[in-house]
Structure 1
Amino acid sequence: MEKFSEITKENKTFVYICNSDEVKEGKGFKITFEQDIDMQFAVFRIKNRLYCVSNICPHRHATKIFEGIIKGLTVTCPLHGWTYSLTTGENTNKQQGIKKLNKYEIFEENNLVFMEKPILKIPKWREDVPIETGKNPIFD
């Protein structure tokens, strides 16, 4: 199957993102659509279950979630220590704020991994940056 091919399941559109063996237990795996930072996703396998969240930490917009520290069902951004639930995307430390990671449905079938088809939503902080650049004004 060609990468990013679409399938429909239960009236939802999913996209093929990788083979099952590419997502290692306890490690993050980065997926990028269209070479745009807003279309980066972090996939994790924890106890043989898959989780998919945005790869952009909402704290300072770093594209490092896939490199985060995994503890239980949480991932901690390696740059500033904000911790998020992989099941809900919510920040686990409410004293840091209520910003959360976007979470996406994901599943495996016949050794292929599919995620919910993402829709590009440009966040407020990026509205003044031309989308063609694919640059993060804070970290690039």
Structure 2
Amino acid sequence: MKKIVISILTFSILVILPGCNSRQTVYQPEGTIIIDSQDYLMIPGDYSWKEKEMELTTLSTYDIEELAEQFETLEVVKNNILTFEITKSPSSISVTQYHEDGTSKVIETTNNQITMPNTSGTYIYEVKARWPEGKINFVFDVNVK
């Protein structure tokens, strides 16, 4: 009888109880720029995510220029094509280009690629990725030669 009780208790501890305390792990999406087979991790900015009974929100205390300073500026040539990847397959992506002269514009992306300007200078890019569960903004900068 004692062996049966121990067997039932062991079964309960090993099988039933872990299922009662299941924890969900949520990973913040990552964004990567790819140039000439080299990967560069974009700097994340504002982030929010809501899934089931869990909600995460982080608001960046930096402005876009301060975030860009955290990124190692990429040296690129005019009209070069950059590819970017974002984990968790966003449902929409928009990219804004900021020029050092203070102008900005939303730029078109095709197949997760961005064509660099044909004018030399420093540019900051903000990539806004959206999912039904949330959103995140990424920042990186380039020096076009």
Taking structure 1 as the reference length, the TM-score comes to 0.27
Q: Which has the higher contact order (CA 8 A, sep 6+)?
A: 2
Of Structure 1 and Structure 2, which has the larger fraction of its residues in strand? 2
Taking structure 2 as the reference length, the TM-score comes to 0.26
